[in-house]
Amino acid sequence: MESASESENDASSEILSEDESSNELESDVETDSSDETTEEKPPRRPLISDKVAGTRTKQMSLQELIQMRDRIGTKQFNEQVLKTEKNTKKKFKQADFKRENKNRPQELSSKARVPKIREIIHVPREQRTNRDPRFDNLCGTEYDEELFDKRYSFLENIREREMKSLKQQLVKNKSKASDDQGKLKYLITRMEQQNSAKKDRMAKREALRQWKKEERTKVEQGIKKPFFLKKSDKKKMLMQMQYEQRKEKGTLNKLEARKEKKKKSKESRIMPYQRRTTAT
């Protein structure tokens, strides 16, 4: 029984290898027989097209069939195209192979392709750590602006240089009116605004630091207990500081200037005559 199946396999492979010559012979024989019109036909050797399944493969030439066989492999080719009988040991595709005891090696299918995203080295579940960077100590504490600025203070020089080069470019390309000019201008204004915003922030920080310093010295001297500003108080203090700065510079806007004037006039009304000029 085994030898029968093997001989059939070999017969099919023989057919594959010798088919070219046999095809030509077949055609000759058939024409001869049709000419003679005899009753009995000579025994026909089985053609590859008889065994080939499906109309598409039947129409393929031998060359194409051989190319297909080289591409998909003889095993698959024999199974699907030639539909040869399987071995007595029937090939069963087990979904999972059961092993007899735990010490035996694991058995898997050898036809399952390994995906690109694959596990190369197995890490057991206990060792696998899933970390959320928002709540992880290792991913840094809360954002400290002062520290950040200190650490990346080297970028200030680079920013200055970039501003300079951008301005130069702007001047160079002044003659060409194009989209790039608009972009350049936008960039430059952006950088300047960022700069000024940064300066403001730093000034605010400085003021707060000064206040804290004074408080600390007072506490050390024993005059006061430690005192912490409320948020609203902080804001007030900073606004006050800014206002005073602008007053010195003379850059108060119209509203503020009028208010200032009104305040002065009110105060001067209450003030006795002799002190009016000195009060300003």
Partner 1 sequence: MRNQPCLKTIVMVLLRTKKRTSAGNDFSQVEQQKAPKRKLKEFDDEISSGSEDGDLPPPVKDLPDSSDEDETAQEKKMRLTKKYLEQLQTVHAKDDSDNEKDVVGDILKEDVLEKAGRLQRKIADLCVQPSEDNITRLRGHKLSVTCLAVSASKGVLFTASKDCSINKWCLNTHKKLFTVKGTKPKPNQKAHSAHVLSLALTTDFKFLASAGKDKIILVWNPDTMEYVHTFRGHRNTISGVAFRLNSTQLFSSSHDRTVKVWDVGIMSYVETLYGHQESVEACDSLTRERCVSCGGRDRSARIWKIVEESQLVYHGHTGSIDCIRYINEEYMISGSDDGSICIWSIMKKKPIVIIRDAHKDEKKNNWISSVAALPNSDLLATGSSNGLIRLWKCSDKFLQLLPLFDISACGFVNDLRFTDKGNHLIAAIGQEHKLGRWWSIKSARNSTMIIPLKQNI
Q: Give me the residues that bind partner 1 (CB under 8 A), please.
A: 1-3, 6-7, 9-10, 13, 16-17, 69-71, 73-76, 87-89, 91, 93-94, 97, 103-114, 118-121
Quick one: how far is CA 250 from the chain centroid?
A: 52
Minimal distance, residue 55 CB to partner 1, in Å:
24
Residues 144/129, Cβ–Cβ less than 8 Å: no
Nearest Cα to Cα of residue 45 among 65, 23, 62, 61: 23
By beta-carbon proximity to partner 1, the closer residue of 4 and 197 is 4
Distance CA 13, CA 69 (A): 12
Q: Is 207 helix (H, G, I), strand (E, B) or coil?
A: helix
Nearer residue to partner 1 within complex by CB, 13 or 22: 13
Q: Residue 157 Cβ, how far from partner 1 at the closest point, in Å?
A: 43
CB-wise, 87 or 196, nearer to partner 1? 87
Cα angle at 107 between 101 and 112, to 5 degrees? 155
Q: In angstroms, what is the minimal distance from the CB of 13 to partner 1? A: 6
- Residue whose tokens read 């000029």: 277
Sorted by sequence, the CB contacts under 8 Å of residue 83 that are 6+ apart come out as: 51, 53
Cα dist from 81 to 4, 6, 20, 74, 78, whole Å: 20, 18, 18, 10, 6
Q: Which is nearer to partner 1, 22 or 268 (by Cβ)?
A: 22
Q: Considering beta carbons, is residue 54 or 73 the nearer one to partner 1?
A: 73
CB of 125 to partner 1, least distance (A): 17
Least distance CB 6 / partner 1 (angstroms): 7
